[in-house]
Amino acid sequence: MRTGLYINNEWRRPASGATLEVINPATEEVLACVAVAEETDVNAAVAAARSCFESDEWRALSPRRRGALLHRAGELLAARRNEMAELESRQNGKPLFESKIDAAMTVQVLQYYAGWADKVAGSVIPVDGTDFVYTTREPVGVVAAIVPWNFPLNLASWKFAPALAAGCTVVLKPASETPLTALAMAEIMEEAGFPPGAFNVITGGGSTTGAMLVRHPDVDKIAFTGSTAVGKEIMRQAADTLKRVTLELGGKSPNIIFADADLKSAVRGAQSGIFYGKGEVCAAGSRLLVEKSVHDQVIEQLAARARKLVPGDPFDSNTRLGAIASKQRQDAVLSYIEAGKGEATLVAGGNATTVNGKGYFIEATVFDDARPGMRIVDEEIFGPVLSVITFDGLEEGVQLANQTVYGLAAGIWTRDIQKAFEAARGIRAGTVWVNTYNLYDAAAPFGGFKDSGFGRDLGREALHGYTEAKTVWMGLQ
């Protein structure tokens, strides 16, 4: 297992020798001690990325050849996907079947952007007069990718794959809780043939190592996924060096069940919408809006399903609810559950638990009779906790859906195509799922409205965030 800093295609010890522990949240065991990058190390990583970006070698590498390197990295990752999935489950606590889905999507993301590398093109612009005007899309330069612990490698690939495809170089800082798969990815990128400095991985804390990247004058862009509070701080800190930033932040996504929906699949969708990934999913459907006339049926089915969803060993193939990512996160989620007990009606779960006497688990928790103004409705919990709100009619459903500072995603369950269309149009969110939830594809843009941030990951959209437009005027007499 790699625990050093990966800078300029070399494994280095941190200048200070400091390390941080990576804990398996399902067993409470120490998995590894990884390096803490301090000022000297951060400077070295940025310098490596900068000098690669400006090197003849990187410039001479054709877009098609860069694409081939990304494609090769995808193949190498596919060959190591089981090992990678196991490492992800160990450091994050998610069930192994989920980590396998994450690894498969990461392969897809690498290969999708491999295909884009030689298709990032400008255009010829018609102007008044005889001058010939064209645009090109040039890489923004050195990109620092700062990512969270919930989908550690997959979310990292949403940044570094389009960045490299566009011709940028990358310094990746994974979350301090889950750095191990990013480090393993560095081995793959080197084997794929990326030259020294194109892809670097440095580990350490957010307010220390992460903040140094944000302030560094030689970093051109921060691609961030994480909390809204940290996103705001990054935007402030990035102002002094006028860095480009894209921010994928928190959410409190509404999942709306209309009375005419296929209730069986709607309830199944509501369940996986909040309990998949232990609810540690930015797009989790954490506010369930249920139309009044089906409220009792939905609550009954949902509570029965939640009670059956017993937290278990991530490596047991029957487990559908793993361990919360850390003790700190478990405490935060429990404090929301305590607040909820005083404001709404607990109908399932509500307790911390262990598996084989260890680990930071929380039962699948459902609150009924929730409404705006309650903490469990207004704030992102980021755990397996669902708040059910009753509404009556399309207008009130959409109004409640939008009654949030966030705008990341939304779900709509109905058999009425007109209603689906109107709700999809009325909801202010970056993704709307109709009669499904939590689906992702490398080709489908993902990101937020409002306090859920700006800029998009995935799809063609993401490439805009890693390029600058250059306009060239050729004066012709």
The catalytic residue among 282, 291, 363, 380 is: 282
Strand partners, 366: 348, 386
Binding to ligand NAD (CB under 6 A) within 385-414 occurs at: 408
Q: Could you say which of 143, 165, 211, 337 contacts ligand NAD (CB under 6 A)? A: 211
State yes or no: is 395 an active-site residue.
Answer: no
Q: Provide the sign of the torsion angle of the four alpha carbons 337, 340, 342, 346, taken in this order.
A: negative
Q: How far is the CB of 64 from ligand NAD (least distance, A)?
A: 30
Q: Is 51 or 227 the residue whose CB approaches ligand NAD more closely?
A: 227
- What's phi and psi for 4, nearest 5 deg? -90, -170
Q: Is 249 in the site for ligand NAD (CB under 6 A)?
A: yes
Decide if 226 contacts 202 (C-beta within 8 A). Answer: no
Distance, in Å, from the CA atom of 73 to the CA atom of 368, rounded to the nearest integer, reads: 47
Q: Which residue is nearest to ligand NAD (CB)?
A: 206
With CB under 6 A as the rule, give the number of residues binding ligand NAD. Answer: 29
Q: Give the separation between CA 84 and CA 286, rounded to whole angstroms.
A: 29
State in Å, rounded, how far the first CA of the chain is from the last one: 64
How far apart are alpha carbons 142 and 122 in whole angstroms? 21
By CB under 6 A, residue 382 contacts ligand NAD: yes
3-state secondary structure 216-253: CCCCCEEEEECCHHHHHHHHHHHHHHCCEEEEECCCCC
For ligand NAD, the binding residues in 3-22 under the rule CB under 6 A are none
Residue that the structure tokens 């894209």 belong to = 246
Tokens 């794929």 belong to residue: 192
- β-bridge mates for residue 19, sequence order: 35
Among 4, 93, 226, 277, binds ligand NAD (CB under 6 A): 226
- For ligand NAD, which residue of 93, 210, 254, 397 counts as binding (CB under 6 A)? 210
Residue 10, CA atoms < 13 Å, CB-side half-sphere: 9
**Is there a contact between 142 and 50 (Cβ–Cβ < 8 Å)?**
yes
Least separation in angstroms between CB 358 and ligand NAD: 22
Asked if residue 235 lies in contact with residue 347, where contact means CB atoms within 8 angstroms, the answer is no
Residue 214 engages ligand NAD in binding (rule: CB under 6 A): yes
Name every residue whose Cβ is closer than 8 Å to that of residue 247 and which is 6 or more positions away in sequence: 224, 225, 231, 234, 235, 448, 453, 454, 455
Of 202, 380, 385, 467, the residue at the interface with ligand NAD (CB under 6 A) is 380
CA distances in angstroms from 96 to 48, 82, 320, listed in the order given: 35, 9, 9
Task: Verify whether residue 191 is a known catalytic residue.
Answer: no
Q: Which of residues 254-313 bind ligand NAD (CB under 6 A)?
A: 282
C-alpha count within 13 angstroms, C-beta hemisphere, residue 324: 23
Binds ligand NAD by CB under 6 A, chosen from 118, 233, 260, 468: 233
Among residues 74, 162, 197, 250, the one that binds ligand NAD under rule CB under 6 A: 250
| Closest CB to ligand NAD among residues 72, 456 | 456
**Binding-residue pattern over the window 116 to 155 for ligand NAD, x denoting contact by CB under 6 A:** ------------------------------xxxxx----x
Residue 129 per-residue DSSP state? S
**Which residue in the list 98, 177, 248, 380 is annotated as catalytic?**
248
Binding segment for ligand NAD (CB under 6 A), chosen from 107-115, 228-236, 285-293, 418-426, is 228-236
Query: Closest by alpha carbon to 306, among 336, 329, 282, 274?
Result: 274
Helix (H, G, I), strand (E, B), or coil: what is residue 179?
A: coil
Query: Shortest distance, CB of residue 65 to ligand NAD, whole angstroms?
Result: 30
Query: Is 27 or 253 the residue whose CB approaches ligand NAD more closely?
Result: 253
Q: Is 230 in the site for ligand NAD (CB under 6 A)?
A: yes
> Which of 24, 89, 200, 225 touches ligand NAD by CB under 6 A?
225
Strand partners, 257: 290, 413
Closest contact distance (angstroms) between CB of 317 and ligand NAD is 26
The stretch near ligand NAD (CB under 6 A) out of 57-65, 209-217, 294-302, 357-365 is 209-217
Q: Output 53 or 382, the one with its CB closest to ligand NAD.
A: 382
Smallest gap, in angstroms, from Cβ of residue 474 to ligand NAD? 42
Please report, as residue ranges, which positions from 12 to 71 form the binding site for ligand NAD (by CB under 6 A).
Answer: none
- The CB-of-470 to ligand NAD minimum distance in angstroms stands at 30
Q: How far is the CB of 245 from ligand NAD (least distance, A)?
A: 11
Enumerate residues 148-207 that contact ligand NAD by CB under 6 A. 148-150, 155, 173, 175-176, 205-207
Task: Count CB-CB contacts under 10 A for residue 88.
Answer: 27
Q: What are phi and psi of 325, to 5 degrees?
A: -60, -25
Catalytically annotated residues: 248, 282
> Contact positions toward ligand NAD, by CB under 6 A?
146-150, 155, 173, 175-176, 205-207, 210-211, 214, 225-227, 230, 233-234, 248-251, 282, 380, 382, 408
